[in-house]
């Protein structure tokens, strides 16, 4: 596993641009909310830690991970510098997992190609609930934190290129 020997919550603030002048959108799936709330907390705290103003962090909730694409598209209209899509899909016994994961991945990729506001993929696609717990504030840290750092870096890239 990619996160087996890595703590997702560790970052070096000295290597990250200041977030104080950026506005961020965070779109959060309500499905598997114990996981997505942990991811949101990690993202929010990292943004604030890196200088983002609390009033410049805008949250939108959507019912499930499949709806993240539409939510992110709407969030891009709110004049934010970057959007973070937060969701959690856990493998079940049917192909539903595959369809949702593929749809969300392709949808977020399409938003990044079609629009100028970067959308950061923070959707856990795990085999078990325990794997999701481990990556949303558990033993592997928090993927939400990692997504926030990516959002800051992409907002900076957008501004400077």
List the helix and strand counts (H, then E) for the chain.
5, 6
pLDDT tens column, 25-44: 999 999 999 999 999 999 99
Are 5 and 28 within 8 A, CB to CB?
A: no
Strands 141-142 and 136-138: antiparallel
Contacts of 124 (CB under 8 A, 6+ apart): 35, 39, 87, 88, 89, 90, 131, 132, 135, 136, 143
What pLDDT is attached to residue 161? 79
What pLDDT is attached to residue 8? 61
Are 38 and 144 within 8 A, CB to CB?
A: yes
The parts of the chain modelled with pLDDT lower than 70 are 1-6, 8
Q: Name the 3-class secondary structure at 82.
A: strand
Residues belonging to the active site: 96
pLDDT tens column, 70-86: 999 999 999 999 999 99
Give CA–CA dist 94/52, Å, rounded.
41
What pLDDT is attached to residue 92? 79
What pLDDT is attached to residue 2? 53
What pLDDT is attached to residue 5? 59
- DSSP label at residue 50: T
* Phi, psi (deg, nearest 5) at residue 66: -60, -35
What pLDDT is attached to residue 9? 80
CATH 3.40.50.960 fits domain 22-160: yes
Strand positions, DSSP E, the chain: 24-29, 57-62, 82-90, 119-126, 136-138, 141-142
CA distances from 145 to 45, 50, 95, 100, 115 (A): 8, 11, 30, 23, 24
Note the pTM of the prediction, 2 decimals: 0.94
């Amino acid at each position: 596993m990619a996160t087996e020997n890595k703590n997702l919550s560790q970052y070096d603030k000295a290597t990250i641009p200041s977030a104080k002048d950026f506005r961020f959108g965070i779109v959060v799936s309500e499905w598997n909310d114990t996981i997505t709330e942990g991811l949101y907390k990690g993202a929010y705290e990292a943004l604030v830690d890196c200088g983002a103003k609390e009033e410049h962090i805008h949250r939108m909730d959507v019912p499930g991970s499949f709806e993240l694409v539409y939510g992110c598209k709407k969030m891009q209209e709110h004049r934010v510098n970057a959007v973070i899509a937060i969701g959690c899909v856990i493998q079940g016994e049917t192909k539903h997992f595959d369809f949702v994961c593929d749809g969300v991945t392709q949808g977020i990729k399409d938003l990044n190609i079609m629009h100028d506001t970067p959308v950061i993929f923070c959707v856990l696609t795990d085999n078990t609930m325990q794997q999701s717990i481990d990556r949303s504030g558990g033993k592997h840290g928090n993927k939400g934190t990692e997504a926030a750092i990516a959002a800051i870096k992409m907002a900076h890239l957008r501004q400077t290129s």
